[in-house]
Amino acid sequence: MIWDFAQGMITGIQGFFSPQTVVAMTQILTEINRIESQFYLEESCQEFQASLEEVRQKFNLEIEEYRQFCENSRLQKRQDFETEQLARSLQHEQRLEEYRRETQLILSRVQLLTAIELADDQEIRDTFPLKTPARVILDAYKIYQENYRHIPLLVIISPPALQFEKFPHAAQGFDLIENRLIDKIQEFCQYYPLTSQERPVRYQGADWESKSSHGKIAVDILHHVLKSIPTVVLESKVDGDLLRIYLAGWDMLEKVPHYEKVLTVPWKEVLYPIARKYAQEWREYRMKLLEKGRSLEDLKRRGGDDELNLLILEEEEEDREFGRSGQHDYKYNVREDKYIRELAQFLGICHCILVGLMADRYHFSHADVHPKLPELLPGLLEKVPSESLKQMLVGEIVSSYQSLYQLAGCDRPHLIPDLYLDLALSLSHFPDKSWAKKQIEFSIKVWLMLRNRVSSIEEQKPGLLELLEAVTSALTVWDKEYLEKLNACLAAIGESQHQEMIRVAMQRQEAEYKRQQEAEHQRQLEAERQRQLEAERQEQL
């Protein structure tokens, strides 16, 4: 438009100005037109560059979204594959274990029927060491095999209070133990009732025909007749200052029974702390009697052994004050019946723990039934007379379960993380939280091994925080139940500060899973829309 106007002016003024003037004016107008065109081109170029940048950013965003979608799909497929592989592995393990158990039951039943046929043999009847005839026990287990989902574990005990015919004074001072021990275990076996479909136990008690039939010989005779029946025999002895407990028994089809000493405790470690407690209680009561004017003769008469033990306690306290307590053997008087009752109670606790351990081991090995004893431990151990004895028993219990779980981890590893947490939750009730913390760490390590995050427990020695960080990087939305139990254990041992880290990681996984589900849903909708458009286009053609 500017150029047309300039041409018109040039044409109009050519008649009034000289040719030189006209040329100069033409050049000026041409320069004006060039500058105007340059401004216009620069403005158009800026608009084009802005539009191009907008298109480029939009394209990059779409490319990034598509890349992220592909990456999420790849990760999701990997997680789905790992989950599917784990599920298939578990199914394979379960089928193998079911086949092993079915085969074992079939062979055991054949062996049981053979034993029933031989049970009436005169030689077997004469040598069988129990009062209950072998035929009665074998017939009962035939019924159990026909009607019970799980075969009961047979439990027999041999208390130290039995008076041997040839040595009637061998257990003098312990004649009150037998009945209390039998009753204590009978009460404990209510948690493993014979009628249970999960953890049945047949408690036979101290059913010995002859009081001198004990030890390895008696176990061998029992095994010869009852080898098709899973059996545990607990035998306790008093040997001088030592209290010994032996564990014997066999599982179905085991050719050789085991017989081993599992616990040795100086009975003084059991009774002397109790004697000190009674002496301290008597000292307080004694002061009240003195304030009322009671004579020393009256106090000695009323105090009995507590009065004598108070003198020994004060002597021990004086020696401790001067640093000489470890150089003297303080002989507290523990002859009264109340001390025998206390010893019987401690023996009962030990026997109950062993019965629970063996019952849990048996039913877990044959039916994957979760152990019952861990939840009963706080109530059992609260009556142990000293902290050192309690620590010793806890150590034995933990060692037993760890060996069981390590053995089961070879063919049923998926069960182990939860079992360690159950044990940790039980141990968290004790003042020493280190026992529970170790079980939590074992649980996490096995959990990580199942997800191929660590090669073996022995190679890994990280702390709890490092293990929890590894958990947060490996967890999925399907691990919620395990994480809830893990958080409960952390709270129980005073490590609740780590719960927030796990909670945030789980929320992040849930949000990511939800986003992936929504993206997959949108992808399916878009694919369906494209199919509809293609169908419409085909119809138009």
Of 101, 119, 145, which closes a domain? 101
pTM higher than the cut 0.85 = no
pLDDT at res. 247: 94
Nearest to 468 by CA among 492, 437, 424, 426: 437
Of 48, 67, 101, which closes a domain? 101
Residue 101 has pLDDT above 90, yes or no: no
At CA 469, angle to CA 468 and CA 470, rounded to 5?
90
User: What CA–CA distance (Å, rounded) separates 506 from 512?
Assistant: 10
Q: What is the pLDDT of residues 203-252, one digit of tens each?
A: 998 888 776 667 888 899 999 999 999 999 999 888 888 889 999 999 98
Mean pLDDT of the chain: 82
pLDDT at res. 83: 66
Per-residue pLDDT band for 90 (boundaries 50, 70, 90) equals low
Q: Is residue 241 part of a domain?
A: no
| DSSP H/E element including 475 | none
Q: What is the pLDDT of residues 30-59, one digit of tens each?
A: 777 777 777 777 777 777 777 777 777 877
Helix (H, G, I), strand (E, B), or coil: what is residue 246? strand
Contact between 364 and 371 (Cβ < 8 Å) = yes
Q: Is residue 359 part of a domain?
A: no
Residue 466 structural domain: 372-541
pLDDT at res. 166: 36
State how beta strands 153-158 and 231-239 pair: parallel
DSSP 326: G
Helix (H, G, I), strand (E, B), or coil: what is residue 256? coil
**Euclidean distance between the first and the last CA atom of the chain, given in angstroms as a whole number:** 49
Per-residue pLDDT band for 14 (boundaries 50, 70, 90) equals low
pLDDT at res. 245: 93
- Two tokens at 37? 């065109």
Q: How many domains does the chain have?
A: 2
Q: Is residue 443 part of a domain?
A: yes
Q: What is the pLDDT of residues 315-350, one digit of tens each?
A: 888 888 887 766 677 888 888 888 888 888 999 999
